[in-house]
Amino acid sequence: MNPHEESDEERVLLEVRDLKTWFDVEGRTAKAVDGVSFRIRENEVFGLVGESGSGKSVTSLSILRLIPDPPGRIVGGEILFRGKDLLKLSWSEMRKIRGNRISMIFQEPMTALNPVFTIGFQLTEALRRHAGMSKEQARDRAAEMLELVGIPDGGRRLKNFPHQFSGGMRQRAMIAMALSLEPDLLIADEPTTALDVTIQAQILELMLEVRKKTGNSSILLITHDLAVVAETCRRVAVMYGGKIQEIADVGPLFRAPLHPYTRGLLLSLPRPDKEKPPRLSTIPGIVPSILDMPKGCKFATRCPERTERCDLEEPELREIEPGRYCRCHLVEPLPVGERKGGGE
């Protein structure tokens, strides 16, 4: 082992290894997440990209073990958080991590808050539980957090109920809630998808900004929007069909995507830097049903470059170059020195 790798290893905050989360759907098994592995380092913003139904949300929920059982269950794998396997913790130990060391922001700000309790009540709950604050302390901290996420007059706003907030404000409140205990990891599951386009960028920026001001947490950002990833993340994993198809640093991924699926995703993005944007390209076909996944490569049904082998045999996720992984028969690992596209 070389020293460089060891220090890198030290900085790993969360490592997911071969995670499998399956669901029972009318007597059949849907493998929503089927052998997912990735690492998130300290203070890193890590993106997890994929279409809806690719298993990215289930992956994120699995980390906090928020999989509804029944019908779902985490079948196998490890989730190492600072070296400790979260899947082996007792529920009470797990609760000490949730909301405290790892917190989460959800996609739907309209329903993610309890309608019958005040914002203040919901904001202070975790503070009082995890940090053992008194009622007054917790209220002050909550008010401070509200101001920090750009809700003026936080002290008064604490008395409001969620329905008195707009969607954007609710998501701000969620961010305040999630970051108030300065967690090590913030999981943001499509935090801007349900919001107005005009607010999306604001909220994203706010999230990064507040995170810097609080504990400089790592962020696992789950999104279907590559543009968001490009702006915020350092590393990205691309998911399709319950599996990770490609992991790379953001720069190389955008410059030279390896997996045909990633390429398709990138091509479907409008390119503001080009003067005349090419016709918006989309990937043909639809995501296959989670119950009827193809036997070979999961992307084979829609892949423009598919070969016979792709139908028969599922490719492995292989390291193509250091820090860069791809799951495709057509992409061979290259010896050092012959890397195309160049490094950073």
Contacts to another protein by CB under 8 A: 64-72, 91, 95-100, 103-104, 106, 108, 111-117, 125-126, 129-130, 161, 163-164, 174, 177
Residue type, 14: L
What is the nearest approach in angstroms of another protein to the Cβ of residue 103? 7
Nearer to another protein (CB atom), residue 94 or residue 331: 94
Nearer to another protein (CB atom), residue 68 or residue 152: 68
Token pair belonging to 295: 């036997």
What is the nearest approach in angstroms of another protein to the Cβ of residue 171? 12
Token pair belonging to 308: 């016979």
Nearer to another protein (CB atom), residue 70 or residue 270: 70
What is the nearest approach in angstroms of another protein to the Cβ of residue 256? 37
Dihedrals φ, ψ of 120, to 5°?
A: -60, -45
Token pair belonging to 268: 């479907």
Q: Could you give the CA distance from residue 84 to residue 63 in angstroms, rounded to a whole number?
A: 12
Other CB atoms closer than 10 Å to residue 35's CB: what's the count?
16
Sequence-ordered list of residues with C-beta below 8 angstroms from that of 171, at least 6 positions apart, any chain = 105, 109, 191, 192, 195, 203
What is the nearest approach in angstroms of another protein to the Cβ of residue 170? 11
Sequence-ordered list of residues with C-beta below 8 angstroms from that of 70, at least 6 positions apart, any chain = 24
Nearer to another protein (CB atom), residue 71 or residue 76: 71
Q: Could you give the CA distance from residue 271 to residue 331 in angstroms, rounded to a whole number?
A: 25
Nearer to another protein (CB atom), residue 57 or residue 200: 57
- Residue identified by tokens 């980390």 is 63
Which spans in the chain are helix H?
3-10, 56-63, 91-97, 109-112, 119-130, 135-148, 154-157, 167-179, 197-213, 226-232, 250-255, 260-267, 308-312
Nearer to another protein (CB atom), residue 85 or residue 316: 85
Q: Could you give the CA distance from residue 189 to residue 176 in angstroms, rounded to a whole number?
A: 15
321 vs 42, 115, 318, CA distance in Å? Answer: 22, 49, 9
Nearer to another protein (CB atom), residue 65 or residue 263: 65
Nearer to another protein (CB atom), residue 158 or residue 248: 158
Nearer to another protein (CB atom), residue 66 or residue 330: 66
Per-residue exposure over 72-111, b if at least 16 CB sit within 10 Å of its own CB, e if not = bebeebebbbeeeebbebeeeebeebbbbbbbbbbbebbe
What is the nearest approach in angstroms of another protein to the Cβ of residue 111? 4
